[in-house]
Amino acid sequence: MNRIFCAVVVGLALGQAVRAEPALYTDETTFVADLVALAGSTVVESFEDDATWAASRNSIVAPGRTPSVASQGLVWTSNHPGNELATGTVGGSAPGGAFAIYSLPHGLTTDSGLYCDSAEDPDIPIECFQDDGLTVVGESGATLYAFGGRIDTANGGKVTFLLDGIDINGNDTDNIDNWQREGDPADQWAFVGVIDAAGFASVELRELRGKDFQQVLLFADEFTIRRAASACGNGLDDDGDGRVDFAGLDPGCTSAADPSETEPGLACDNGSDDDGDGGIDYDPLTAADPSQGTGDPGCLDPAWPLEDPQCQDGLDNDGRPGIDFDGGASANGGVPLGEPDPECVGKPASNREAAAARACGLGAELSLLLPAILAVRRRPARPRLASRATPGGTPAGRRR
């Protein structure tokens, strides 16, 4: 089933539109079916990717934890700033594979010493409650629309969601900020989820019953999240480099979930004017005609390693007449610094102003003479006459 909160009329007297409140789900099938009507793309996270979650792997023989993990365009943290994240096998019961996620330590650990025995007394000091849980945000501020997963507390726990810091179980009358700690049962890997078609920037999953010396430990797994489509998977050329998404081999995309098509380590695809000439990164229009587009003429393609190669850096690198492909104009606010370098004309991305070095000697001339030289070497030698002395002492064949 799912529970949909009452619609709130904002500015009814002014005739403004009615905005539906978030919908809470305890039936996963209904939750997944309702995702179809939402914007964005669906992410499924079960914490099984060792490369991504390695730092969080936690066990008795190999303890591990980490402050945060970025995975599939989402950033996961504990809901308490001083705590960290861990993923473990939780006795082999995780429904989505080998690992489930949890906070370390579990919630607040103040050990206040206050009277915290009453299970439901609303007058229990707030310091008693552990509020064990997790927080998730979209990378680069990407909007989220739905968040749901399987929860185990193994001790009769119940949970709520805080969207952008606002508890969805609270109201403006008798339960301000959910001081009554209303929530839904979450045990034995029960599913709990929330959908808000208007979107939210952050979601906190919070356990409500755990108290000092009466902890209720929250473990979670097998999440389904709807988030705004990432820049590397939305079918658009977001950075204008002629490459579309991870599937279209944009070098700024490390995966389809990457929230940006730019990459800081790529001079021609990082969204910055690295050489200060007014052109930014690779632009197909600029590559075809340096006077067009907004790109840097020094970029041959998005993966080109530098924006200011020798043929577009405003310098006379070889000490010979000529500067750059355009006399240095594109590197000097459109004002030429001299005549173009003959070796750079038509090649603004070339990183060599000097002409290619030539071999020493008479290479061209010798190459023309080589066949004749070889022919002479192959010609058979003329036989030499043997020298024979005659009785008179004159060599044979000679006449006096």
Q: What is the DSSP string of 140-175?
A: GG--EEEEEEEEE-SSS-EEEEEETTEETT--SSSS
- Which tokens is 36 given? 């179809």
Instruction: Give the C-alpha separation, 205 to 231, whole Å.
Output: 27
| pTM: predicted TM-score of the whole model, two decimal places | 0.65
Residue 126 in tokens: 């707030």
Q: How far is it, in rounded angstroms, from Cα 20 to Cα 194?
A: 13
pLDDT value, residue 390? 46
Both tokens of residue 34? 């309702």
pLDDT in tens, 166-210: 999 988 777 888 878 899 999 999 999 999 999 999 999 999 998
C-alpha–C-alpha distance, residues 344 and 186, integer Å: 69
- What pLDDT is stored for residue 114 in this prediction? 65
Q: Looking at this protein, which amino acid is placed at residue 122?
A: P
Position 235 confidence tier, pLDDT thresholds 50, 70, 90: confident
Q: Which DSSP symbol is given to 60?
A: S
Total length of the chain: 400
pLDDT in the model for residue 302: 96
- pLDDT, tens only, 332-370: 999 999 999 999 999 999 999 987 655 444 455 555 555
Vertex 179, ends 173 and 184: CA angle to 5°? 100
| Cα dist from 122 to 125, 131, 174, 181, whole Å | 8, 15, 12, 8
* Interatomic CA distance for residues 143 and 137, integer angstroms: 8
CA dist., res. 114 & res. 335, Å (int): 76
Measure the CA–CA gap between 392 and 397, rounded to whole angstroms: 13
Q: Pull the structure tokens for residue 200.
A: 């939210």
Q: How confident is the model at residue 293 (pLDDT cuts 50, 70, 90)?
A: very high
Longest Cα pair distance anywhere in the chain, in angstroms?
149
DSSP 197: E
Plot region of 182 (φ>0 → left; ψ -120 to 50 → alpha; else → beta):
beta
CA distance 306 to 19: 50
At 290, which amino acid appears? P
The closest alpha carbon to 279, from 333, 227, 206, belongs to 333
> Is the distance from CB of 203 to CB of 163 less than 8 angstroms?
yes
* Token pair listed for 134: 């997790």
Query: How does pLDDT run across 3-41, given as a tens digit for each residue?
Result: 544 443 333 333 444 446 899 999 999 999 999 899 888
Q: What is the mean pLDDT of the chain?
A: 85
Residue 121: its pLDDT value, please? 57
Residue 120 has pLDDT above 80, yes or no: no
What does the DSSP assignment read for 226-286?
A: EEPPPTTSSSS-TTSSS--TTTTT-TT-SSTT-S-S--TT-TTSSSS-TTSSS--S--HHH
Indicate the domain borders of the chain.
24-227
Distance CA 400, CA 394 (A): 8
Helix (H) or strand (E) holding 148: strand 144-152
Cα angle 177, 194, 260 (rounded to 5 degrees) comes to 105
DSSP state of 37: G
Fold of 24-227: Jelly Rolls (2.60.120)
- The 10s digit of each residue's pLDDT in 302-318 is 999 999 999 999 999 99
Q: Give tens-digit pLDDT for 236-281.
A: 899 999 999 998 999 999 888 788 899 999 999 999 999 999 999 9
What is the model's pLDDT at position 374? 56
* C-alpha–C-alpha distance, residues 155 and 218, integer Å: 9
| Cis? peptide before 105, omega within 30° of 0 | yes
d(CA 269, CA 260): 11
**Cα separations (Å) of 25 from 33, 107, 168, 220, 283?**
11, 24, 12, 16, 46
Quick one: what percent of the chain has pLDDT higher than 90? 64
Confidence category of residue 140, pLDDT binned at 50, 70, 90: confident
The Cα-based distances of 70 to 56, 81, 100, 343 in angstroms read 12, 16, 16, 47
- Please count the other Cβ atoms lying within 10 Å of the Cβ belonging to residue 41: 18
Q: What is the mean pLDDT of residues 121-144?
A: 86
